[in-house]
Amino acid sequence: MASQFATTPLTLNVKPCPAPSNGVHRFIFHAACRAIEAGMKEEQAIEIIEAMMTRPPNPASEVEDALRSARGERRVPTVVWPAVNHEQIEAITHDNAKILDLWRSWRRVWSQESHAEKIIDRLFPGNPWLCVGQTNRSFRTQRREDWRGHLAGYSLIVPSPMISETGLTKNGRLSQHSLANTGPRRYLIIEADSGDLRQQAAVIWHLAKIAPLAAAVFSGGKSLHGWFFCEGESEERLFKFMQYAVYLGADPRMWLRSQFCRVPDGHRSDNKNSDALKRCGWNDIPPGRQAMLYFNPQAIL
């Protein structure tokens, strides 16, 4: 009778990873425990566990965090974010109900082809290091000019220039996507993923009364990303702004300086076909396009 366990070349004996959204996080912790028991080095364990997973780590440090927990190490205290105020979101939506329609009127002057190259040129002038990827596990950092002609086919980008091609992760691994090689913030991304797109657009527009909104980008799925220009602002002021955004339903994970967001006018790597924009009257966006819905270059100093 065949064994129900899968054995890796380094004898990490665990059951196969379940399908996405069906207990992957529990699988990761179980595999981490087995790796610690087997005396594996962390780099080996991370490589093996990630190869067995049926989805990318979320967050990117998910496997490292599981290994830390399996060793019984205490995590660094995390930021306590405010609870979402749904009544306030409803009031803001009522006051800004037509914003998505106004953005649609602006977008009509654009053609069907992707404008990712032109947009990135405006968002990141010069030739900075940019970290771009298809997934959280498939990425590369190189100069903007080396990306030229290819960005329309990519999904993810770090919204601030990198300071070097590589840096060390928290666990001492050399990587092209680490906090250590991420430069000072240029944009703070507000992912307003609470409610439908009309509600999200209303929240982003409300926040634009507080901070300069350079762009609004559709994720290709169910959320909007607001690109707020923040170069030179203090972390204290930005953190207060982020707290208020979370209070209005924003995803707190976007506070991490090295967190990926969506390439404006790029393409989802999973080819997800969402009708979220069509339900709001946008019928001319190609499937999978992470469409730039709003752009204000005057917000970029």
Q: What is the pLDDT of residues 172-200, one digit of tens each?
A: 788 999 999 999 999 999 998 778 899 99
Count the neighbouring beta carbons within 10 Å of the beta carbon of residue 237.
11
The CATH topology of domain 86-124+184-299 is Alpha-Beta Plaits (3.30.70)
Give residue 76's pLDDT.
Answer: 53
Domain ranges of the chain: 6-70, 86-124+184-299
Q: Which two tokens stand for residue 230?
A: 């923040």
3-state secondary structure of 162: strand
Q: pLDDT by residue for the chain (301 residues), tens digit each?
A: 333 333 334 557 788 888 887 788 888 888 888 888 888 888 788 888 888 888 888 777 788 888 888 887 755 556 789 999 999 999 999 998 889 888 887 765 555 688 899 999 999 999 999 999 998 888 999 999 999 999 999 999 999 999 999 998 877 788 999 999 999 999 999 998 778 899 999 999 999 999 999 999 999 888 999 999 999 999 999 999 999 999 999 999 999 999 999 999 999 887 777 888 888 888 878 888 899 999 999 999 7
Q: The whole model's pTM is what?
A: 0.77
Structure tokens at 107: 């977008």
Q: Are 196 and 184 spatial neighbours (Cβ–Cβ below 8 Å)?
A: no
Cα separation values, 73 from 64, 67, 69, 142, 233, Å: 11, 9, 6, 35, 34
Helix (H) or strand (E) holding 262: strand 261-262
Lookup: tokens for 219: 């994720």
pLDDT digits (tens, 9 = 90+) for 101-117: 888 877 655 556 888 99
In order of 6, 73, 130, 285, the CA distances from 27 in angstroms are 13, 19, 33, 37
Determine the Cα–Cα distance for residues 86 and 249; give it in Å rounded to an integer: 8
Q: Which residues contact 16 (CB under 8 A, 6 or more apart)?
A: 6, 52
CB count within 10 Å of CB 192 equals: 26
CA distance 251 to 237: 18
Collapsed DSSP state (helix, strand, coil) of residue 239: helix
- Burial class of residue 47 (count of CB atoms within 10 Å of its CB; 0-12, 13-18, 19+): middle
